[in-house]
Amino acid sequence: MDIDNTCGFAGYSQCILPLHGGKQVLNLCPRQISGELALIEAAVADVYVKA
């Protein structure tokens, strides 16, 4: 995949998507690993609502 490596890949435009009816979230964040390549890091986390 071609990338625009002029932005520095600091994670300012992270993508957060709800999963399983909002019980979990998926977080995607690009991380620059060279002048031409980026790694897309992903994490899934549970969402807890404090009553």
> Tell me, what's the pLDDT at 44?
93
Strands (E), the chain: 15-19, 24-32, 38-46
For the chain, the structural domain boundaries read: 1-51
> Tell me, what's the pLDDT at 38?
78
Residue 51, both tokens: 């009553």
pTM for the complete prediction? Answer: 0.60
- Summarised one tens digit per residue, pLDDT across range 1-51 is 565 556 555 555 568 899 999 999 998 887 778 777 878 888 999 998 888
